[in-house]
Amino acid sequence: MSLRIVVTVKYVPDATGDRHFADDLTVDRDDVDGLLSELDEYAVEQALQIAEDADDAEVTVLTVGPEDAKDALRKALSMGADKAIHVEDDDLHGTDAIGTSLVLAKAIEKAGFDLVVSGMASTDGTMGVVPALVAERLGVPQVTLLSEVSVEDGTVKGRRDGDAASEQLEAQLPALVSVTDQSGEARYPSFKGIMAAKKKPVESWDLSDLDIEAEEVGLEGAFTKVETAAARPARTAGTIVKDEGEGGKQLAEFLASQKFI
Ligand SMILES: Cc1cc2nc3c(=O)[nH]c(=O)nc-3n(C[C@H](O)[C@H](O)[C@H](O)COP(=O)(O)OP(=O)(O)OC[C@H]3O[C@@H](n4cnc5c(N)ncnc54)[C@H](O)[C@@H]3O)c2cc1C
């Protein structure tokens, strides 16, 4: 039977762009270009490699995001994924990580899966919690932060590198893994891949397709609330220490005054 791999990919605001908060203190996504989170490119790459090593496998990429999030799906399809699912609904506005994990888990269940592959964190929220939340909701083992991953005989195996030691981990499928930016360079989409992606299926689901009530997500369902937000003050010129024999002392005094030492 075909190995069904679902990769969670997030569409994030371009970090090089100017980002703002909207009036309700959510990120103003209309005003800034977005792209596939760079850390999720590693997840797509590992999923494609697992699929290439399997006799029969299908890679589905899944995103929860606004209309433009289709761009992230197209990029993943042009890298080689087989099909895509886009969950979009006006009621998702303001959804936090817990709500996002609910939507992802319901969509993954509906799609059917043997293995879920996620990134280690998004490049905007950077909480790194969604994969664990999704695995918990799906009731499957989670093997997170892997630098190396493979699937053999219904078992997913991988290596997690810590500061002092590396661990070899494995779990029976169905399972969820998240992969780090050390797992291997993500491939660039080829011209052929870009052309092929245009014809690959992209399904669109909303909350009713997933039996999720509006109150469970959005600002109303969020467990966190942004009370205030302020733009970061503009950078001021730094302190210049002119060394006339006392430079080291002045430097130490400055660091002490800033509580660095
Ligand atoms: C329209 C919309 C409005 C939102 N508004 C808010 C808001 O106001 N406040 C708020 O806290 N959050 C909001 N969110 C959710 C937020 O953007 C994050 O997706 C969520 O909080 C997860 O946190 P993170 O990005 O730190 O994920 P992490 O835990 O860092 O992500 C780890 C991995 O989980 C997967 N993943 C995470 N998010 C998604 C996703 N959306 N789709 C597919 N895969 C994903 C990726 O594989 C990623 O690499 C909104 C989301 C949407 C779609």
d(CA 215, ligand 1 centre) in Å: 17
Whether 258 is covered by a domain: the verdict is no
Is the pLDDT score of 234 beyond 90?
A: no
Q: For residue 8, what pLDDT band results from cuts at 50, 70 and 90?
A: very high
d(CA 254, ligand 1 centre) in Å: 40
Whether 226 is covered by a domain: the verdict is no
Is the pLDDT score of 28 beyond 80?
A: no
Domains identified in the chain, total number:
1
Whether 19 is covered by a domain: the verdict is yes
- Among 71, 74, 76, smallest CA distance to 32 is for 71
Whether 39 is covered by a domain: the verdict is yes
Atom 1 of ligand 1 has which residue's CA nearest to it?
A: 93
Asked if residues 146 and 207 have their Cβ atoms less than 8 Å apart, the reply is no
222 alpha carbon, distance to own chain's centre = 19
pLDDT at site 91: 97
Asked if residues 43 and 9 have their Cβ atoms less than 8 Å apart, the reply is yes
Atom 50 of ligand 1 has which residue's CA nearest to it?
A: 95
pLDDT at site 49: 98
* 50-66 pLDDT tens trace: 999 998 999 999 999 99
Q: Domain containing 142 — which CATH number?
A: 3.40.50.620
Is the pLDDT score of 83 beyond 80?
A: yes
Domain containing residue 49: 3-221
What does residue 201 show for φ and ψ, rounded to 5 degrees?
-70, 135
Q: Which two tokens stand for residue 84?
A: 């895509």
- Among 140, 136, 145, 147, smallest CA distance to 183 is for 147
* 144-195 pLDDT tens trace: 999 999 999 999 999 999 999 999 999 999 999 999 999 999 999 999 999 9
Is the Cβ atom of 61 under 6 angstroms away from ligand 1? no
- Among 6, 31, 13, smallest CA distance to 122 is for 13
Q: Tell me the C-alpha distance between 116 and 219, whole Å.
A: 27
Strands (E), the chain: 3-8, 11-13, 34-36, 57-64, 83-87, 115-119, 142-146, 148-152, 155-161, 166-172, 175-179, 202-205
